[in-house]
Amino acid sequence: MGTNSQRSAFKTEVDVNTPAQCDDDSAIPVVSVKGLKENWQKWSSEHQEYQKLNPFSHDTRQRVVAPQRGQEDYGRPQQGSLTEKRGKEAHTHISREVQKLCEVIRNIGEEKERDVDEHDSHRKVITVEFGKLFEHYVTISNTLVGILLRARKQGLVDFKGEMLWQGKDDNVVITLLE
């Protein structure tokens, strides 16, 4: 019979890539040192290559030249990366939220005339107070202020002040510009 160490001494040539084999009376798989070494070397090589591309690595042998300020790809994720994919998905989600916000303002807002220029021409716009919008929009999303800021940045809405606070800014008028 013998001990486990005596039995495994005769079975060291099993490759690590093949399914683990077990003796009938033992549940310990037998794996070759050669296979373990090859897998370790493979992982080590892949990790070293990855670290050369990692901007946070202390590896000074960087192969990729980092984009400089002013270049087209500066501050953007690598094309085809998961970061780029997540960014595009987030942009799509925010765009839908902005569209939903504009629709809510159209539905609950009031139509008013607004002076466009000095030639006395008027344009109709839709306005709503922040407090009223907050009451209606809170059931849709809890990120109203952030979506309002994004919509203002895109030129879709306008309001006074940099930030709106519930309670304090309930009477601030939000104007739909599109």
User: Per residue in 55-81, pLDDT tens?
Assistant: 777 765 555 567 778 888 788 888 888
Q: Is the dihedral of CA 136, 138, 139, 140 positive or negative?
A: positive
Closest CA to 143 of 152, 153, 134: 134
User: Per residue in 112-147, pLDDT tens?
Assistant: 876 655 554 567 889 999 999 998 877 777 788 899
> How far is residue 76's CA from residue 94's CA, in Å, rounded to a whole number?
18
- Matching CATH number, 82-176, of 1.20.1250.20, 1.10.600.10, 1.10.10.1540, 3.40.1280.10: 1.10.10.1540
| 3 state SS of 110 | strand
Domain positions in the chain are: 4-53, 82-176
The residue written with tokens 């005339």 in the block is 113
Taking the model in full, what pTM does it have?
Answer: 0.55
> How far is residue 4's CA from residue 8's CA, in Å, rounded to a whole number?
6
